[in-house]
Structure formats: C-alpha cells, structure tokens
Amino acid sequence: MEHSHQGMPQCRHCMHKFTTWHAFFHHVSARCCAFLRAIYNTDNPEVTILPQLNEALVDSPDIIALARDCSWQDLAVLPQVKHPEQDHMIQECIADIKKSNISIATMFGTFSGEIPVPSELREATQELDTLKALLPSLPQTFAMDLEEPEGDHRPPKWQKPGPKGAPNGGKGKRQQLPRGPRSSNSWRDNEWQGQNPPTQWNWEPRRSGWTSQQEDAQAKQLAELKAIISMLTTLVLRQEIQLSVSRQDTAYVVFIKTQGQNNLAQSLYSIGDQWHQMKQSSPEKLRAPMRSVLFQHFIETIKLRFHQMLASPSSRSQAQELGLISAKDSLIPGLRWDPTAKTHVQEDRIEPLRPEEITASLDRLLILASKEFVVTRFHGMRKLAEEYTSPTLGMFLEIGNRTNEAQEAWELLHKLTQSAVWMAGGCYLRHERLQLSALAKRLAAVSK
C-alpha cells in the first residue's frame, strides 16, 4: 500500500484510492484486487507475500525507538517516515532556519522571540545606543496623521521684520514675538557677534552750500552704487537658483509632526542635547558627528513604529483605513500631498514596496549613516526645542556623492521617497524641489 489523498492508503497493484479505512479493510479482507486474489490462490502464499512485506519494514533505529513510545499518528507526521532519503536535507534546513533572523507567522500569531541584531548594525549604532541609554525610555507609538505645510512647504525660520520706513524703526507688532539667534547650529551660541561688527555706511547728507558739481557727483555715485547692488543681487539669485538645481540630486526635505506626547521632533532634540553634553564631558566617546547620530535615531524610530503598525490586526486595520497598507496584497504604497483635500493620498506613479524590502532598506541606512561622507547635512529649518507651537517641523537632509556608501544611501532613500512607511512615525520625506529659499524670495521681492 502507498499513501494517497490526505494520508489515506492506495493499493499499489490496482491503484485504487481509498477515502475511508472501512473501504481499505474491505478491499484487503474481501480480496477485491485481482492481484491479491492471485497471490492468495497460490499453493504457498507466504513465499510470495513475505518478501513484499519486508519492503515495508523500516530500517531506521531512530524510528524504531520512537515507535515504542509514540502512536502511529505521531509517527505518520515525522519527515523521516515519509521521506527517509531526504533526512540530511531536512536537517540542513532546520539548521539554516535556526541560524536565520526570520520570524515564523502562523494562523495563531507571529513568533515574537528576540531576533539577534547583526554585528555590523550593532557597531554602527553604538554611539546612538549610548546616548539613548542616558535618556529616559521613549515610548515607541506610531502616529500616522500628518499635514504638510502649504505654500512653499516650509515653515518660516523667523517672523519677517517690518518695512524699513515703518514707524518706530520698523519694530511694529511683528517684532513682539521672541527671536532666537540666527545660526546654522541649533545649539551653538552666536560666537561671531561682537567680533566682526557689520560695516555701516557713513553717507554724508546733502549740504545747503553744495555746488551743482558736487550734487552731480553725489548723484553719479549713488547711481553707481545702485547698479552695483543690482548686479550683486542678480548674481546672488542666479547662484541660488543653480544651488537649488544641484540640491535636487542630493537633498531631501522631512516634515515631522510636533503634536502629541513623545513625538519624533522632541526625541530628536533630546538626543541632540545629550550629544552636546557628552561632547563637553567625555568627547573621547564620540566619533560620529551629531548629524549622523540624529539621522540614525530618525531611521531607527521609523523602523520601530513601522513594525508596530504591522504587529497587531487592529493596527493593520487602522493603517488600511488610512491608506497606508493595501488591503489586497499588504504592500506599502506611495503618497502625495493633495492641497485641495489637505491630506495625503496614494500616488499611483510610485511603485508599492513590500514590508520586508522596507525593513531591509532601513537596516542598511542605519549602517551607512555611520560611514564618512554619507550624511552631510541633517538639521531643522528652525531651532529644535522641547515644545513647538507649529504643527510640523521641517528638516533638511543632504546625502553626499563622493563615496560608494553615499551613493547606496541615496538610492535607498530615493526608493523610500514619499512612501507611507514614514507616516508610521508621524513624518513625511520627499526630494528637495526647485524653489528659492525664503531669504532669496525676500531679496528678489525688494530688488524689483
């Protein structure tokens, strides 16, 4: 007899497939098979039957030992019983599964055992783990509602001052809000103040006793100054446009939600502040710049909250309602900002990604962030703080192009651009667009 459908036997002579054990017993005892009838009708049937029965004997000490304590149902599911010739391959597969980092998903849930972290990833995030150990635990909850700022999609760095000819020297109502120092570093004081004071023009006013030649010379000098300033303004704006074109190949813009407890914007400030404290107390413990550590914390937070979004059926259902996961094939779609609906909608032109592919890309970005010349800029458009009044915080991210690691990091970020994975952490990442900065727009407006 041989195995047939769903574990039921099949006659190896007439190839009849049995659906019940009763039919099998009747087939053997009633000798329904012509081959069996021929065997039993011989003078010495044991001479013919015994050699065929010996073929069914199991020549395996392990299975014989198990047969003493196990039932036939337990023995039937053993791989060695069904395919004894594949025992070495089965053992190799079991060993490979034990060494791998995959999780086993079943109809009863997902295996939640601790997965060992690769040594390369652990070494790359060593400084970030040291800084996080000095901070209180940050709850990792994913937040998916985020609105992208309108207009030029960037929050202003500071309030625009009043016009130069306004009353009280231009210090009107718009100057009542506190203004922080203008600095490219959010934590560095203005050390340059007082050292190199700006040059002031000592323009000599017109005197009543001036001759016409002196007045003509002054008017000519004023016209020359206006022409020089106009040319300098044009040159600066052209350079700004060219820099904006170049930044499209290397720069990204990140919008982070600032509302809610323990949001990503607040944790970035905490990591940066802790980095500065360690820089002053134990500088020998730091090797990576602050921008790399902040970027690693940013990627790590997105990865953890993305896993939380996929962990439970309730969170997956919520993500599907928000359009962050496709209900059909569980892919992560791309998103774009709809200014009319004031929300993010799915973008069909962006290829959806598998969750496993996204996780692998985030892990690789954590490793590449520790390499030199990869993250060349990662800072806020405004000063980082513990509390924010604006609903979003804009951040500049720029990737270098001098090394192979930097090129790989750019390709990974390009693949994840505008993906719904960023919404799990309450943020949104896209490429830098061709547009002037706020300061360049003001310069172009006053030069008209």
Rounded Cα distance, 98 and 243, in Å:
51
- For residue 32, being part of any structural domain is answered with yes
Burial letters 263-296, b for 16+ CB under 10 A, else e: bbbbbbbbbbbbbeebeeeeeeeeebebbbbbbb
419 and 318 belong to one structural domain: yes
Contact by Cβ (8 Å): 201, 221? no
For 180-236, the DSSP string reads ----SSSS---TTTTTSPPP---PPPPPTT--HHHHHHHHHHHHHHHHHHHHHHHHH
Residue ranges of the chain with per-residue pLDDT less than 70: 1-7, 44-87, 90, 94-117, 136-210
396 and 415 belong to one structural domain: yes
Number of domains in the chain: 3
- For residue 170, being part of any structural domain is answered with no
- For residue 208, being part of any structural domain is answered with no
- For residue 338, being part of any structural domain is answered with yes
Rounded Cα distance, 58 and 87, in Å:
14
51 and 70 belong to one structural domain: no
293 and 406 belong to one structural domain: yes
375 and 258 belong to one structural domain: yes
- For residue 272, being part of any structural domain is answered with yes
293 and 403 belong to one structural domain: yes
Residue 64: predicted pLDDT: 63
Q: What does R_g of the chain's alpha carbons equal in angstroms?
A: 36
11 and 92 belong to one structural domain: no
Residues 107-139 pLDDT 10s = 334 444 455 667 777 778 878 888 888 776 665
Residue 341: predicted pLDDT: 87
- For residue 115, being part of any structural domain is answered with no
DSSP 151: T
265 and 303 belong to one structural domain: yes
Rounded Cα distance, 11 and 123, in Å:
61
40 and 131 belong to one structural domain: no
Q: 419: which strand partners?
A: 334
Task: Give the domain extent around 318.
Answer: 124-151+247-444
Q: Match 């939640």 to its residue by tokens.
A: 112
8 and 136 belong to one structural domain: no
80 and 52 belong to one structural domain: no
- For residue 430, being part of any structural domain is answered with yes
Nearest to 363 by CA among 100, 97, 117: 117
73 and 48 belong to one structural domain: no
Q: Which helix (H) or strand (E) holds 339?
A: none
- For residue 72, being part of any structural domain is answered with yes
